[in-house]
A and B are shown apart, each in its own frame.
Chain A
Amino acid sequence: MSILIDNFDLFANGLLGTIRLCLLAAVGSLLLGGLIAAFRVSPLPPLRALGTGYVTVFRNMPLTVVMFLSAFGLPPLGVNEASFLNVPGLNFLIPQLGNNAFFRFALIAIVLYTSAFVCEALRAGINAVPTGQAEAARSLGLTFTQNLRNVVLPQAWKFAVVPIGSVIIAMIKNSAIAGSFGVAGDLMYTSDVLVSQEGLPLLPVFLGLSGGYLLLTIPLGLFLDAVERRRAATIR
């Protein structure tokens, strides 16, 4: 226990690192997942095929492989530093975004991987919206995008928010892999350093590590439970 207290600042820093990575990854995954879900329900067959192909590839590939392909496969393809993610302003809040190419590659990998699951959760939500809703919107003259944005997605969101939350919880835990791919400063990395560089015993450090992840995932889980209860109350 004293190990955790003595190294509290290190753990706190690690937690902050994980939060930063996960915050960006969650936002990215929701955006990309939403886009892919739109592809999958689109009236245009090529877009549908693209969406289906995307989900098939990234949902069935181990995250480690996606990480590897992102960190070492993208540069030979010309994405040398993935510096398009080095967004001014954002890199001030999240310094790794600016100074660590592998942070950016790991972010890309997590987003690519997670958005496939977000897409499917969202699509399940879209399918749960009665078809009459979309038909009514179409017969008013709403275009596909207007229909999705104003009628279908706001309702699909209610069905999808809890499954998507579970996807995000899984994503937070998955982010531990990033420590093995050049992302310095997250929880997993901090624990690694404490054990093998500082020589602290494995068990207490990993207890602290697990505690850090629980600190992120349990409140999220409670929040989702609350959302679900509120939804159950309003839908009747």
Chain B
Amino acid sequence: MTSSPTYAIEAKGLVKRFGDKTALHGVDFAVPAGTVTAVLGPNGAGKTTAVRILTTLSSADAGTAKVAGFDVASQGTQVRRRIGLTAQEATVDGLLTGRENLQMLGELHHLGKAEASKRADQLLEDFSLSDSGDRLARDYSGGMRRRLDLAATIVARPEVLFLDEPTTGLDPRARAELWDVLDQLVGRGTTLMLTTQYLEEAERLADDIVVIDHGRVIAQGDSRELKRRVGGDQLQVVVREAAQLEHAAKILGRGANAEVQVDEGSRSATVPTRSGVAALAAVSVALADAGIEVDDLGMRQPTLDEVFLTLTGSPVENAEELQEATR
């Protein structure tokens, strides 16, 4: 390899405009080879636009990007030989069987017929699709389509894998299955960049998280760093009797050095905590001692809304306009 540290993805000052809307305002980030980076942001933040530029589907109005060491603007073919892209919408071919989908992509990657067929069998097995390999993909469930889509993406063993919101629209079980598959992939040394709207997903899968909003990178770091900035895990109690909410909030606030958020409607009180399970145990004992009846008590992660609120000072805007402009 030429230089170290080796970055599988390097984006510098990416700008993309659609008419008078600017989708990306100079985005910079770098993904070291063999690591997982999650690009986290709400709808319309520019995540898909960034992925499309890095995968040569779209060209930047300014800035440069290298993927697997090749310039996305001037060395598109070399880049395409080394990447895999799973787009937001599953792009499996419904009129082909699962096996035919993989076989076709193998052939288009010039693996040769026999090798493409072997690879298709292997991938069907790896992704628990062997039993349905000869069914038309249009008859697959959402989770199966996603798995096939992902298998299709890695047919040619890409060095760098891009997944654009890989689990959007999946039920929790299908999502967990897909996460397991991604874990295995990453274990084999593939560099992975995924976009997501879920902090939980970013945290579960990624080494590094790039938070992006309105086309700008607003934070970058591992999930621990980010959550520290947001205030980390939160302790939440839901009481049975609304009358006891105030008392419960007081107990919750005892060990914490932050303000307790009280929501009358849901009879809940929430406070950021850094001591995790220990705080949970202490609060649980204190609530029982005080004779407060509890419907729910637990640790809760900050939501993407809260991360945004903290990082930007403004809640997530539904930037649908911008999203439409990117269509």
**A and B associate:** no
